[in-house]
């Protein structure tokens, strides 16, 4: 089969790496790809949002299967366009991708489906938003409705923060994305990601994962795309996955099917585990980046077959095969990220890092240049390792990171700490238990 992957991040490098292991994969293209995908596949000079060019390429080169990584092509309707051209494409149609593309729509679906989420109001003018804020007071969470590259959410802890955020949102800074604003109750708790393979009717949960959104150690600093992730996250253990999917994912599948637009692809519920139970913060309609990297290292079966089953509606009674080991990924970013950052620095030590057992270096913002790998983005790579326990995976990931060097870069040093704290509080000091039961069949 000829496969086209869309995107250029660490997630897409991991997808290319895993799909290449499929006995059915003959040739892989990545549009536009990065320095890592260049060594596994053929990179194409087509941007992830250029749906007509992606479809034209897929037609002309007889692509058999398309795997979009990021949300942009999905919300632009790449699945609809590929399907119309007769090319199977993994992911939701545009009508379903609105679950990520519009926070107001996601809230409407959650309410219709009875999914637990923060109480909220949706406003399209400054005055009524201000009246709601005056009634409820701080703290409030204020979200631009549309895609805003992770920058459209403000946690407003004071009345002054609320006013400033509303002025900002309604000033047009987010363009169409900010014309509608969702304001919701501030929730306290630990965040965790639940990703499910969906075939329109059924949802098959992957093990839990936890992202680290803040730029610096101790969850401080500005929000980023994600500075590291691990799986499983002890806050959502394997034996609670089915119950959590029943509560937060399957009702959405039923609601989308009822509306005549069944959801296929990955439905990712961003959860807050509060004292009053889980609440859905948001849906993503794709693999998370960097959650994808540790999750795919743990997946112990043919990814292509699974993705095709989702498109064909044939997940039936499929049981995922997952390695019992934990996996943990640490992102190396360019200094300044998520603000402005330098490019062009040389990255060295990748093969030395990968010489360690059970370590993969998934590249993100890199490009290949005459035998060298050069930094070309904010998140440059994600060093991902497996280990018998979370603590072993973490030790190995940081050992591998030590072998990589790049000027003007930084990484968080505390990826996995929250998970380790859970495990330590559950066991006698010094005796970490295995983080998952032995492999499920």
Task: Note the residues at the interface with ligand GLY (CB under 6 A).
Answer: 211, 225-226, 284, 288-289, 291
Six token digits for residue 371:
């035998």
Residue choice 184, 255, 291, 325 for contact with ligand AMP (CB under 6 A): 184
In whole angstroms, give the CA distance from residue 43 to residue 24.
20
Residues 265-294 that bind ligand AMP (CB under 6 A): 270, 281-282
Q: Is residue 187 a contact residue for ligand AMP (CB under 6 A)?
A: yes
CB nearer to ligand AMP: pick between 158 and 314: 158
Q: Please report how close the Cβ of residue 316 comes to ligand AMP at its closest, in angstroms.
A: 32
Query: Of 101, 93, 71, nearest to 286 (Cα)?
Result: 71
Other beta carbons less than 10 A from residue 270's beta carbon = 18
Of 89 and 266, the one with the shorter C-beta distance to ligand AMP is 266
Backbone angles phi, psi at 239, to 5 degrees: -75, 0
Q: Where are the alpha helices (DSSP H) in 85-212?
A: 94-101, 103-113, 126-136, 159-170
Asked if residue 245 lies in contact with residue 203, where contact means CB atoms within 8 angstroms, the answer is yes
100 binding ligand AMP? (CB under 6 A): no
Among 136, 213, 318, 321, binds ligand AMP (CB under 6 A): 213
Q: Does 71 bind ligand AMP (CB under 6 A)?
A: no
Residues binding ligand AMP: what is the number (CB under 6 A)? Answer: 14
Q: In the structure encoding, which two tokens stand for residue 24, read together? A: 């059915």
Residue with smaller CB distance to ligand GLY, 35 or 225: 225
**What's the rounded Cα separation, in Å, for the pair 123 and 104?**
9
36-52: burial string, b at 16+ Cβ within 10 Å, e else: bbbebbebbebebebbe
Instruction: Return the structure tokens found at 228.
Output: 């590291």
Range in contact with ligand AMP (rule: CB under 6 A) among 13-21, 184-192, 197-205, 390-398: 184-192
Using CB under 6 A, pick the residue from 72, 113, 118, 420 that binds ligand AMP.
Answer: 118
Task: Report, in Å, the least distance between residue 314 CB and ligand GLY.
Answer: 27
φ/ψ of 318, rounded to 5, equals -55, 135
Which residues bind to ligand AMP, rule: CB under 6 A? 118, 141, 143, 153, 155, 184-187, 191, 213, 270, 281-282
């Amino acid at each position: 089969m000829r496969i086209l992957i869309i995107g250029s991040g660490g997630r897409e490098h991991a997808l290319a790496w895993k799909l290449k292991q499929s006995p059915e994969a003959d040739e892989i293209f990545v549009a536009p790809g990065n320095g890592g995908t260049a060594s596994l596949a053929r990179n194409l000079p087509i941007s992830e949002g250029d749906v007509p060019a992606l479809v034209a390429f897929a037609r002309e080169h007889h692509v058999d299967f398309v795997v979009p990584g990021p949300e942009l092509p999905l919300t632009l309707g790449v699945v609809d366009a590929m399907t119309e051209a007769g090319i199977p494409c993994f992911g939701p149609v545009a009508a379903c991708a609105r679950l990520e593309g519009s926070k107001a729509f996601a809230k409407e679906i959650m309410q219709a489906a009875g999914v637990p989420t923060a109480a909220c109001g949706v406003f399209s003018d400054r005055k009524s938003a201000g009246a709601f804020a005056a009634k409820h007071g701080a703290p409030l969470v204020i979200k631009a409705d549309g895609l805003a590259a992770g920058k459209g959410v403000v946690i407003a802890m004071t009345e002054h923060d609320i006013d400033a955020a509303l002025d900002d949102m309604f000033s047009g800074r987010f363009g169409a994305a900010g014309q509608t604003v969702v304001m919701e109750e501030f929730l306290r708790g630990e965040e965790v990601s639940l990703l499910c393979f969906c075939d329109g009717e059924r949802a098959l949960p992957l093990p839990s994962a936890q992202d680290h959104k803040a730029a610096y150690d101790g969850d401080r600093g500005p929000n980023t795309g994600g500075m590291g992730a691990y799986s499983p996250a002890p806050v959502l253990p394997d034996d609670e996955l089915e119950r959590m999917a029943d509560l937060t994912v399957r009702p959405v599948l039923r609601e989308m099917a009822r509306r005549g637009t069944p959801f296929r692809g990955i439905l990712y519920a961003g959860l807050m585990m509060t004292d009053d139970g889980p609440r859905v913060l948001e849906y993503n309609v794709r693999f998370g980046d960097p959650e994808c990297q540790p999750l795919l290292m743990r997946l112990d079966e043919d990814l292509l077959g699974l993705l095709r089953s989702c498109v064909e509606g044939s997940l039936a009674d499929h049981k995922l095969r997952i390695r019992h080991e934990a996996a943990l990924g640490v992102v190396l970013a360019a200094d300044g990220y998520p603000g402005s950052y330098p490019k062009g620095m040389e990255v060295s030590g990748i093969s030395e890092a990968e010489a360690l057992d059970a370590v993969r270096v998934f590249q993100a913002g890199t490009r290949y240049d005459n035998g060298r790998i050069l930094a070309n983005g904010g998140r440059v790579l994600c060093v991902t390792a497996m280990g018998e326990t979370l603590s072993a995976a973490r030790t190995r990931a940081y050992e591998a990171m030590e072998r990589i060097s790049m000027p003007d870069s930084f990484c968080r040093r505390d990826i996995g700490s929250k998970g380790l704290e859970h495990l330590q509080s559950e066991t006698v000091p010094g005796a970490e238990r295995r983080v998952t039961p032995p492999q499920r069949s």
